[in-house]
Chain A
Amino acid sequence: MHRYIIKRLLMLIPVLLGVAFIIYAIMNVAEGDPVYQVAGPDATEEQLDALREEMGLNGSLLERYFRYIFKLLRGDLGTSYVSKMDVMQLYLQRLPNTLKLASVAMIVAVVISVPLGIVAAVNQNSIKDTVSMILALLGLSMPNFWLGLLLMLLFSLKLGWFPSGGAEGLRSVVLPAVTVGVGLAALLTRTTRSSMLDVLRQDYLRTARAKGVSEKRVVFHHALRNALIPIITIFGVQFSNVLGGSVLAETVFAWPGVGRLVVDAIDQRDIPTVTGALIMTTMLVTIVNLIVDIVYAYVDPRIKAQYTK
């Protein structure tokens, strides 16, 4: 198992280099030379060249990329064009807020979806099943930022239960987290249902019932443990979408997270900040996926056996 984890960690390296390259390349084909933006209209040609050198903008794309990577390996993401602050610092300032939002959102999603999916599967084709599936379909079809606006309208502007923005106190995280979590909840409800339906047909549940295991234990112990396997997969795959969704929620609720940082930086054409934040976010997703894979192995002994071999 340890060897598997180490192998996976080593495999991360080429993936992360690739991520950095793709993002760096996309961000650097942007029109216009950023030196003009920094230097202002009155700069002379010599000043511009000096600035180019200083900002690491001289040389071919590949040269610049390698310089960037070497700095990245030392934890240096460059300096923001706008605030002149260290990008890594900017990112780390915002990261805890985004992680807080994402984790509350994921908890909300799981708390809603897993019970709903189980109820739907256990009562297949009943009214409970139909209602759950309609809710899931609406959740999937609703743009999350619009849901966020509606939540804000009802719960903060009309009822005043929660603040409409900012990250002060526990209450402020509720609306943004629900905004991000509902889409994931919808997807997980469907996955839980179909995965449970699959498992509920299995012979080993009949064996359990024939032993005298109670129906509750059959569903929550014997079936759920098996059904969790695909649910965990979806959970891992969706982490990147949760971070994506939080970009919108952060905008709607003025939540000072990484998403807001990126959107503001794009508005100001602050390329080092955008590039750095995107690379770091993708790394986060990749690492979370690795953790999910490891959890997965602990839930399913068959997979664990494959890894240890």
Chain B
Amino acid sequence: MADSKEMQLRASKLYKKRSSFEMVWRQLRRNKGALLGLALLIIIIIGALIAPIVYDYDTDVIGMNVRERMQWPSARHICGTDDLGRDIFARIVYGARYSLAVGFVAVIIALIIGTALGAAAGYIGGVFENIVMRVCDIFSSIPSVLMAIAVVSALGKSTANLMLAVGIASTAPFVRVARAAVLVVRGEEYVEAARAIGQPDWKIVIVHILPNCLSQIIVQATLRVGSAIISAAQLSFLGLGVPAPAPEWGSMLSSGRLYIRDYSYMTLFPGIAIMITVLSLNLLGDGLRDALDPKLKR
């Protein structure tokens, strides 16, 4: 009994030694790029949160105003107006809600499915692992845009299906990361210790193994949100994403494209919005990677 207590204590000490929040934050604070990314992301999130307070969806965002249509950027409409006379800036700010929601939800879907499958594959091994990894190979050889296109076209166009499609298309990397991480820690002493005192497998995986691959999963997730936002915009651009008249950035580009020759501002601003959002996530993700995994830092 005393032995098992001691082992448990030892096991918990061993894995808690890892990355505390403060340590990561101290590393991150020294990285100017990561701070810039974090600041931009916070601004974008705040913008998305207060958009419904500032703008009325029905009148400001989707309401037509024919008298004001096709106006170049001015003090009144800083990003100009579109073909239906809607203020592009208002639509961009409101559009952040869709892009962020799709990006985050898709990645959460991918993260949950991927991590669970990957951790199980790594821990169980054998035939199960083999099947999971082969399926994973298959999924990564289907170009993810085409994969998402297939899923959306099968399930029908809606925001929820878009999230699901992008999520499924970005699952494979999480499976790989989680499996690799589990394989590394599986043989370590504290896991052996936990097994020796008779803890059930599921508990070992969740309590002892997953926290140790958390850093890699967080990094992967942060970087994936960016690519998920791009994927979502791509699908909307192809007319398979968030249905009109919702102000999704990709579909704004799709309609702006028709007027690109004479009203180029309509194509310019939504793209800048996508790029800044993705850039902020990439900056933050790179910074997190350096902070959480000093080995990768160059």
Contacts and interface: CB of A to CB of B under 8 A. Distances in A.
A285 B154 contact: no
Nearest to B137: A15
A267 B157 CA distance: 11
A143 B140 CA distance: 20
B196 to A, nearest CB: 35
Given A145-B237, A157-B261, A274 B141 contact: no
A18 B146 CA distance: 16
A247 to B, nearest CB: 5
Chain A, interface SS category: helix
B279 A149 contact: no
Given A14-B134, A141-B279, A146-B274, A153 B145 contact: no
A30 B278 contact: no
B153 interface: yes
Given A153-B264, A266-B240, A286 B141 contact: yes
Interface stretch (B7-15, B77-85, B186-194, B226-234): B226-234
Nearest to A31: B156
B253 A138 contact: no
Contacts of A241: 143-144
Contact of B283 (A26, A137, A286): A137
Interface string B250-294: 100100010011001001101100110011001100100000000
A152 interface: yes
B239 interface: yes
B146 A243 contact: yes
Given A143-B233, A285-B143, A149 B260 contact: yes
B149 A266 contact: yes
B17 interface: no
A278 B150 contact: yes
Given A152-B260, A153-B267, A262-B149, A18 B134 contact: yes
Given A29-B154, A146-B271, A274-B153, A23 B257 contact: no
Contacts of B142: 19, 22-23, 240, 278, 281-282, 285
B238 interface: yes
Nearest to B223: A140
A248 B150 contact: no
B279 A22 contact: no
Contacts of A289: 141
Contact of A278 (B139, B146, B237, B260): B146
Contact of A247 (B146, B250, B261): B146
A168 to B, nearest CB: 20
Contact of B143 (A27, A29, A124, A243): A243
A124 B237 CA distance: 39
A92 to B, nearest CB: 18
Contacts of A50: none
A15 B149 contact: no
A29 B154 CA distance: 6
Instruction: Specify the main secondary structure of chain B where it touches its partner.
Output: helix
A286 B140 CA distance: 10
B275 A137 contact: no
A141 B274 CA distance: 8
A88 to B, nearest CB: 18
B5 interface: no
B76 interface: no
Interface in B88-121: none
A269 B149 CA distance: 12
B267 A150 contact: yes
Nearest to B281: A141
Contacts of A143: 230, 233-234, 250, 271, 274-275, 278
A128 to B, nearest CB: 15
B77 to A, nearest CB: 20
B138 interface: yes
A23 B150 contact: yes
A282 B237 CA distance: 23
B258 to A, nearest CB: 11
A22 B230 CA distance: 24
A131 to B, nearest CB: 14
B151 interface: yes
26 contacts: A18-B135, A18-B138, A19-B138, A19-B142, A27-B150, A27-B153, A137-B279, A137-B286, A138-B275, A143-B250, A145-B233, A145-B234, A146-B253, A149-B260, A194-B298, A241-B143, A247-B143, A248-B145, A262-B146, A266-B149, A266-B153, A278-B142, A278-B146, A282-B141, A285-B142, A286-B141
Interface of B: 134-135, 137-146, 149-151, 153-156, 226, 230, 233-234, 237-240, 250, 253, 257, 260-261, 264, 267-268, 270-271, 274-275, 278-279, 282-283, 286, 298
Given A143-B230, A146-B270, A281-B142, 10 more contacts: A22-B135, A137-B279, A138-B279, A140-B278, A143-B233, A149-B260, A241-B144, A248-B237, A263-B238, A274-B153
List 3 A-B pairs, minimum CB-CB distance, nearest first.
A244-B143, A146-B271, A244-B145
